[in-house]
Amino acid sequence: MLETIKELGEWNINEEEKEILSVLVENPFPQKQPKKEYVLLAICFQNQLFEKVIIEEFEPNRVMKYLYRKGSANGPDFTPCAKLTHPRKTWNMKIRGWFEKVQKNQIDLGTEDKNFITSILKEMQDEETLILAEIEKLTQGFTAKTNCLISIKIDGKYIGEYSVFKKMLLRLVNEKFDTVSASNQTCSICGNMREKVYGNASPYAFYTIDKPGFIVGGFEEQLSWRNFPLCSECILAIEEGKKYLQQNLMFNFYGLQYFLIPRFLLGKDFVKSETLQALKGNRTISLSNIERKKFLITEDDILDVLVNENDVLNFSFLFLRKSQSAERILLVIEDVFPSRLKRIFEAKRRVDQLFDDENYNFSFIRQFFGKTEPEKKNADLNGYFLNIIDSIFTGKKINKTFLYHFFMKDIRRAFQRDEYFPLITKKALCNLLFFQDLDIISFDWNGVECLMGHNQSIDNFFDKYGEFMRDSVKRGIVLTGVLTELLLRKQYHDRKAKPFMKNLKGLRMNEKDIRGLIPKVQNKLNEYDSFDQGKRIIATLATEYLMSGGDDWNMSVDEISFFFAAGMNLTDEIAQIVYKKEMPEEVQ
């Protein structure tokens, strides 16, 4: 994966003809949000004397002038430019602290540059009280929406317009890398022997040498370069690749952040350029109808190019979670080809067609794999959700028992609270059909495959769901759910209540419960004088389907209850089949 990011960085360096300095400089606010405010707090000096503190609007096209590069959390950054947190603390550590560090470390500078740094530092120290008062006065009006960069301006120029600050940026970066390095060793990325390799220079914070598990060579930090040696060329290329991903190919996916990393296997540079430009312009990832053409690439544009190229590139998905300065890899999905993306789209379309709808998307999956309880503040099922996403893109099998457990947890809650029960059951049903179409879930058969000929229309209804409802027992459970729902509708029509609900055990029913439910429902329907021809057809078919399954269905309570709930929510379709002429009022 890092090799791919390096190649992406090399491509962008060549494409934009970038120099080393522009690779090292960072945009402090790469993902500007419309409701946030972005400003620069500039401490101005004239003729090396303090003049004033001003606020300017942050301009992304001035990034090279701001010359920002993040450094240590407990020390100065690589230039006297930093994100403002607490005014006094940021000033002391990041601005004045930078000048003090340069002077203290006796960094090799020319006499003119040394005098320049010394005079600015002395003025800062002499006028610190006034400077801090001005800073605190101006920042009083800041709100939680304010994002502020603090730096200095000298004679009306930004630090990036002075060669001394550019030289210091390069020098300080090299100094940091030199602390863990070795000469005449092989780079782990490019595989070439290099004059010098570095062990603490990874642009990604998911690799670190400050934990024992990352240390080799007798736990000596100086030898930790052996873990992950990088040459300077690869460091810069990976850093540029990371920046390119952050600015162009970073997406939010149902509360999770990830990067889309394209890897070109074959093809000319112009194919790479055209593809990357198209990806940059399509940043919304979804399976919904509105955003379908922006799922990964525009279907009418790039998808055709990719398919015609016979999978000349693939994609990796890097899911990261940032916590302060650390980065944790949640999931890496590698080698996803355009042909797989096309199949995912086709599966989505078939689910939409089956339900005469056009809105299936990944939120249907997130519904069941977000939080264990709706009242929880944070999503605690991200791991399960990402495992399912991994299966969708790679074709790994998903355990159906695992799915039924989580589906029924939400379905039962909705059923008991009488909140969105039909919608949530439909989402679970759509998910299983989507997984079935992608061949990442398998369904067992109970009893005979199916009973044909009893009611061709109902057989056809089940057949459209494929393997999912091919065996007779599942069909019988579904029809039992349909019959029960018809009784509940009759009760509510006549009494504005559903007293029979107590027999459903909160949708925690086993084989014995289902077998005993049909006669109970029939008796109740007879009491209401509502056991008409349509319901008799359903009851007869349900009984025959269940009887064909034998005495041991080998189905969990969750699986049985799921198909029962599915039947309750498929009642309208079955009713239209059995009531061909006139549908009773309470059924409608």
Q: What is the dihedral of CA 248, 254, 257, 259, to 10 degrees?
A: -50
Confidence at residue 158, expressed as pLDDT on a 0 to 100 scale: 97
pLDDT greater at residue 31 or residue 514: 514
**Residue spans per domain, the chain:** 2-24+179-238, 37-173, 249-369, 443-578
Report pLDDT for 290. Answer: 38
Q: Between these two residues, 206 and 198, which has the higher pLDDT value? A: 198
Res. 385 pLDDT band, cuts 50 70 90: very high
pLDDT at residue 563 greater than cutoff 60: yes
Query: Quick check: helix, strand or coil at residue 38?
Result: strand
Output b/e per residue, 294-314; b: 16+ Cβ within 10 A. Answer: bbbbbbeebbebbeebeebbb
pLDDT of residue 392 exceeding 50: yes
Q: What is the pLDDT, as a whole number, of residue 44?
A: 97
Is the pLDDT confidence value at 430 over 90? yes
For 547, phi then psi, to 5°, come to -65, -30
pLDDT of 300:
37
Residue 82 has what pLDDT?
A: 96
Helix 511-527 vs helix 533-547: crossing angle, to nearest 10 = 160
Q: Calculate what percentage of the chain has a pLDDT beyond 70.
A: 86
The per-residue pLDDT for range 136-171, each reduced to its tens digit, is 999 998 998 999 999 999 999 999 999 999 999 988
Higher pLDDT, 469 or 286: 469
CA atoms within 13 Å, Cβ hemisphere of 310 = 2
Cα–Cα dist 184/176, whole Å: 19
Share of the chain above pLDDT 90, in %: 51
Given a cut of 80, whether residue 398 has pLDDT beyond it is yes
What mean pLDDT is predicted for residues 178-193? 87
Q: Is the pLDDT of residue 465 over 80?
A: yes
Region 70-77: mean pLDDT is 89
User: What pLDDT, on a 0 to 100 scale, did the predictor assign at position 155?
Assistant: 96
**Between 289 and 381, the higher pLDDT residue:** 381
Q: What is the mean pLDDT of the chain?
A: 85
pLDDT at 181: 79
Q: Strands 181-186 and 82-83: what pairing?
A: unpaired
Cross-strand pairs, 260 = 317
Identify the band that residue 241 occupies on the pLDDT scale cut at 50, 70 and 90: very high
Q: With 50 as the cut, is the pLDDT of residue 295 above it? A: no
The average pLDDT across 390-405 equals 94
| Interatomic CA distance for residues 6 and 316, integer angstroms | 14
pLDDT of res. 280: 64
Q: How far apart are CA 141 and CA 203, in angstroms?
A: 35
pLDDT at 540: 93
Q: According to the model, what pLDDT value does residue 34 have?
A: 80
Q: Is the pLDDT of residue 313 over 80?
A: no
Instruction: Flag whether pLDDT at 331 surpasses 70.
Output: yes
| CA–CA gap between residue 490 and residue 86 (Å, rounded) | 66
User: Regarding predicted confidence, which is higher, 76 or 454?
Assistant: 76
Question: What pTM did the predictor assign?
Answer: 0.79
452/475 Cα distance (integer angstroms): 12
pLDDT at residue number 307: 45
Q: Is 294's pLDDT higher than 70?
A: no
